Structure formats: C-alpha cells, structure tokens
Amino acid sequence: MKPSDTIVRVSRGHITESLHRIHLAVVDNQGTLLHGAGDPHLLTFARSTAKLIQALPVIESGAADHFGLTEAEIALCCASHNGEAEHVSTARGILGKLGYHAKHLQCGAHEPYHAPTAQAMRERGESPSTLHNNCSGKHSGMLSLSSHLGASPDTYMSPEHPVQVLMLDAVSAMSDVPKEQMELGIDGCGVPVFGMPINHLALAFARLGSPQGLSAERANACQRIVNAVRKYPQFLAGSDRFDTRLIEVTKGRVIGKMGAEGIFALSIPEQAIGFVLKVEDGNIRALYPAVTEALKQLGYLSETEVSELKEFHTPAVHNWQGTEVGRIRPDFCL
C-alpha cells in the first residue's frame, strides 16, 4: 500500500482484514476541481444519487404544482426511502392525486430497508408491495410527470418515453455531459441510469445547491428540491440512515444522497460546492465512514457534527452474538 492510497480499513482484532479504496471529486458550480483523491474523473454510474436531479422536470414541467405535490412529497420523489409507514402512505398519496394505485408502479417490490418495519410485516403475514420499494417516490414522481404530459403510464420506464427523455436532458444539462456521451444502463428499479465522470456528477450537485447562471425555471426547481429535502430529511431516507442524519446534524447546510454500489453525492449550497465519493469495489460499508472523514478533513463538518455522526464515521464490526470484534475506519489524508 502506497502512502497516497485513499482507503477505508476494516479491522478484526489487531489485523487489517479488508481495504476499500475510494475516489473523490469536489467542484464548484463552474466545474473547477477544488479537491480530488484517487481518480476524480472516474467514470461510473450515478445510481440513486441522480434522483435529486431527475426530480427537476417534475417541477419545471408544472406537474408538481398541477397535482399539488407537497414539500414532503417532493422530498420523497428524491428518495431511496426505508419503506416506513410514512413513506408508504406518502407515495400512496402522490398516486392518489393522479388517480393511480400501487399497481401502476413498475419498480418492483422488496422488503422495507427499515428492519423493524420489515419484521412487523412478516409477523402480520403481510407481503411488501411496490409502495415499499425504496424508489416508489421517484416512480410516483415519474408517473405525475407522465400524466401531466398526457403520455402513456404503461411505458414510463422506457428510455424513449417523454419522461425519461426530459430526465436525461436535465441530467445532461446539469452535469455538462452531452447526451450522446452519457453512458446509459438500467438501474435496480428498471429505469435508465446515467454513467458519467464523478467530477461531472459533482458539478450537477454544485449547481443544484447554487444554481446561479441557470434559467429562472431551473433555478426555482433546484431551490424547491433543496428546500424540500432540508425541511423533510426523513423522507429522503428514514430512521437510522446517513442521508437523513447528515441533513439533520448540519441543519440543512449539507444535503446528500447515497446510491447503490458505494457512491455518494452532496451539495453545500451556501459554498456552491458539489462533492462525490465512490467506493471502488462498491461496498457500502466503507461509504459513510469515507464521506464523513472527507468532509471532516476538508473543513465541511465541525468536530461536533462529526461526533454526532460517530456511528457512521467509525462503525463497529459485530459478530452474530452482538460482540464488537473490530472497526471500520477511514485511513487517508487528503
């Protein structure tokens, strides 16, 4: 291991058992690279971090106002939520405003991320529905946009559908990645997912929080999304989740979103900064320690805030008996 390696170290007893390498890009809203580690131009998929950007057309089109979406519902459109009762009822509420039901969601069903909720459902013999899917808010937002455009709800996940065309347009414009250069894949919930260098994803988040120079309509949509997740961080993720705690602990000064395969994107609006960190091997256990440590070292979190995020910063490794047997620690210097 070279001294310059940017890693998260997993120890068991006195032995380092595993290492996770990370890549980091921090940019301003002009795209200037302020800080980097590993490969700050790494090409990867944005995964669910893109949800905040994908929500822009829902507002810009007038769909959010037409259907009377609340700030909590807008926050849920950006979420990878826990599937807790309030998340399910809020997604159901969005669909109700459209005259739709859970059957119209094509995201698939999985157990809630929130373990107590999942356990209670199992004890009741209740099977999860599409409303429990962590992406049900995003898909409900997509359906609201589809309905407002008068497009078919049956094919809203297709890359050629007007909803997905508008979302690709928004992601491309915010990240400065031309549409023809955007790598497209299929996300876990079935909709297109966007591949781009991490510094460009960071640019999209810098602009989301500090949209100077964007059109009035886009700047307004950015501000509404930022305000919604600041006011309702519980709807962005949920109980015991890093995304929610980061917003709560910083009182909305920092807003961020995780994505599958170990990626995290955040905005610090008042500093016009976008930040993206990717765990190279995709293991999410290294993600929150690395994000917290990077924010600490760069001066974006206070010591008090880092202390309040301790459970994510240096989490314990437990065995099946609940005994602490090791630690996950970020071990790098930016």
Q: What DSSP letter does each residue of 122-190 carry, written as one string?
A: HHHTPPP-GGGSTTHHHHHHHHHHHHHHT--STTTTSTTSHHHHHHHHHHHHHHT--GGG-EEEE-TTS
Check whether 22 has a pLDDT greater than 90: yes
* Alpha carbon distance 94, 304 (integer Å): 37
pLDDT tens track for 85-136: 999 999 999 999 999 999 999 999 999 999 999 999 999 999 999 999 999 9
Q: What is the pLDDT of residue 3?
A: 42
Superfamily name with CATH number, domain 7-66+162-319+326-331: DD-peptidase/beta-lactamase superfamily (3.40.710.10)
Q: What's the half-sphere exposure (Cβ side, CA atoms, 13 Å) at 139? A: 33
* Alpha carbon distance 55, 191 (integer Å): 14
Query: Once rounded to an integer, what is the mean pLDDT over residues 53-70?
Result: 98
Q: What is the pLDDT of residue 2?
A: 45
Query: Once rounded to an integer, what is the mean pLDDT over residues 48-61?
Result: 98
Q: What's the half-sphere exposure (Cβ side, CA atoms, 13 Å) at 57? A: 26
Confidence of residue 1 (pLDDT cuts 50, 70, 90): very low
| 185-191: Cβ within 8 A, 24+ apart | 185/45, 187/45, 187/47, 187/48, 187/135, 188/135, 188/260, 189/107, 189/108, 189/133, 189/135, 189/138, 189/139, 190/106, 190/107, 190/108, 190/157, 191/138, 191/139, 191/142, 191/157, 191/164
Confidence of residue 5 (pLDDT cuts 50, 70, 90): confident
User: What's the whole-number average pLDDT of the chain?
Assistant: 96
Check whether 297 has a pLDDT greater than 80: yes
DSSP state of 255: E
3-class secondary structure, 86: helix
Where is 33: in which H helix or E strand?
A: strand 33-37
CA angle 315, 242, 283 (to 5 degrees): 60
Is the distance from CB of 25 to CB of 36 less than 8 angstroms? yes
Is the distance from CB of 7 to CB of 1 less than 8 angstroms? yes
* Alpha carbon distance 132, 38 (integer Å): 36
Confidence of residue 243 (pLDDT cuts 50, 70, 90): very high
pTM for this prediction:
0.96
* Alpha carbon distance 126, 38 (integer Å): 45
Q: What is the pLDDT of residue 71?
A: 98
The pLDDT > 90 percentage for the chain reads 98
pLDDT tens track for 144-187: 999 999 999 999 999 999 999 999 999 999 999 999 999 999 99
Confidence of residue 6 (pLDDT cuts 50, 70, 90): confident
